[in-house]
Amino acid sequence: MFTGIIEAVGQVRHLEQREGGVRLVIGSGSLPLDDVKIGDSIAVDGCCLTVIAVAPDAFHVDVSDVTMSATAGFAHGAA
């Protein structure tokens, strides 16, 4: 079974409820975001999420209610 390659451990810094899902701000830990741009996909807990904004040490993603119900680990402060 392929388990993926973990490049860094981040943390959910902020979770904002939105219609149809949530917006997450995820601290990137030691993952450099120099080459990350809006529209890129980053796997988080095995779930590929599309970057909607990038900060120096964090990225923002929108996650649908369906994805939230099928994926663990997206709670505030989750590592």
The pTM score is 0.83
Residue 18: DSSP 8-state: E
Q: How does pLDDT run across 16-52, given as a tens digit for each residue? A: 999 999 999 999 988 899 999 999 999 888 788 999 9
Asked if 41 and 48 count as a contact pair (C-beta separation under 8 A), the reply is yes
- β-pairing, 41-44 vs 58-64, is unpaired
C-alpha to C-alpha distances, 13 to 1, 2, 44, 57, 73, nearest whole angstrom: 31, 28, 14, 11, 12
